[in-house]
């Protein structure tokens, strides 16, 4: 459960990092599954402006596996609902695979910069990134521009092989608001607003930087044109021990 101080920090800065949301045992189970068919079958690569590749796997269904247990975990979903002050539905989830020495950057962008074109009228959308490996500046942890969610949506276009925000305007925001690197221990959860500018640098270290991101949309913000991701229906929360239970079931 998020504290009042954490909710206020999110309102002010557009993000909040919460440590120890998931245990070392739960993270170990998730790491064991990053090469499962569900992940491999949805994986694709995206090139940054320098031509380096980062890989991600993305899906819109929840699924009855350990990743689905995270996407429907009360530790995540309840937090998102507190931040948006209303009920939400699952938009999509993704595994980010930034491998040692070769994992490319993610250019500055807003998630709503993508999702606006899905027909969502409001940026009432929140993502929750769970660190699976230690996330450090050296291996390309997420970086954010604090308070940038209050600037509104920027125009987005091609930056390398990715979709990025107007780079001139982003730089003006960086000059005025600064940049915070969100270094995190495994099991930490970074909640961030759909309009928060975020990016990550290339992983030139010898350590991987893998993470799982669950994205949510407010039920009041269903796309008007019938596009978008996920199913606009209330989330059936998983049991708090679902990851451990599913991990033990698969191990047998």
pLDDT tier at 193 (50, 70, 90 boundaries)? very high
Distance CA 251, CA 235 (A): 27
Q: Name the residue among 215, 209, 213 with its Cα closest to residue 54.
A: 209
Q: In the predicted model, what is the mean pLDDT of residues 97-109? A: 83
Q: In terms of pLDDT, which residue wins out, 107 or 7? A: 7
Residue 251 has pLDDT above 60, yes or no: no
pLDDT digits (tens, 9 = 90+) for 198-245: 999 889 999 999 999 999 999 999 999 878 999 999 999 999 999 999
Average pLDDT, the chain: 91
Task: Give 43's strand partners.
Answer: 57
The fraction of the chain above a pLDDT of 70, given in percent, is 94
Contact 190, 198 (CB under 8 A): no
Task: Give 15's strand partners.
Answer: 192
Residue 163 has pLDDT above 80, yes or no: no
135-148 as b/e: b if 16+ CB within 10 A = bbeebbbbbbbbbb
- Total of domains in the chain: 1
pLDDT tier at 53 (50, 70, 90 boundaries)? confident
Q: In the predicted model, what is the mean pLDDT of residues 151-178? A: 80
CATH number of residue 98's parent domain: 2.60.120.620
pTM equals 0.94
Q: What range does the domain containing 41 cover?
A: 4-251
């Amino acid at each position: 459960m998020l504290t009042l101080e954490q909710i206020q920090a999110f309102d002010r800065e557009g993000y909040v990092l919460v440590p120890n949301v998931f245990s070392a045992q739960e993270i170990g189970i998730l790491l064991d599954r990053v090469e499962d068919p569900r992940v491999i079958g949805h994986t694709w690569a995206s090139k940054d402006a320098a031509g380096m590749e980062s890989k991600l796997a993305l899906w819109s269904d929840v699924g009855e596996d350990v990743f689905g247990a995270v996407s429907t975990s009360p530790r995540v979903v309840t937090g998102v609902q507190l931040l948006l002050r209303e009920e939400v539905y699952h938009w999509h989830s993704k595994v980010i695979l930034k491998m040692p020495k070769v994992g490319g950057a993610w250019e500055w962008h807003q998630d709503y910069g993508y999702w606006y074109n899905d027909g969502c009228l409001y940026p009432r959308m929140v993502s929750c990134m769970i660190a699976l490996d230690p996330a450090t500046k050296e291996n390309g942890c997420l970086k954010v521009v604090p308070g940038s969610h209050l600037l509104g949506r920027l125009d987005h276009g091609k930056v390398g092989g990715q979709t990025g925000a107007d780079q001139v305007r982003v730089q003006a925001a960086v000059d005025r608001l600064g940049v915070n690197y969100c270094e995190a221990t495994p099991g930490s959860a970074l909640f961030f607003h759909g309009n928060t500018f975020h990016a990550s640098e290339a992983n030139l270290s010898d350590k991987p930087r893998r993470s799982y991101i669950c994205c949510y949309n407010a039920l009041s913000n269903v796309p008007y044109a019938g596009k978008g991701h996920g199913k606009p229906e209330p989330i059936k929360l998983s049991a708090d021990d679902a990851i451990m239970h599913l991990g033990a079931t698969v191990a047998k």
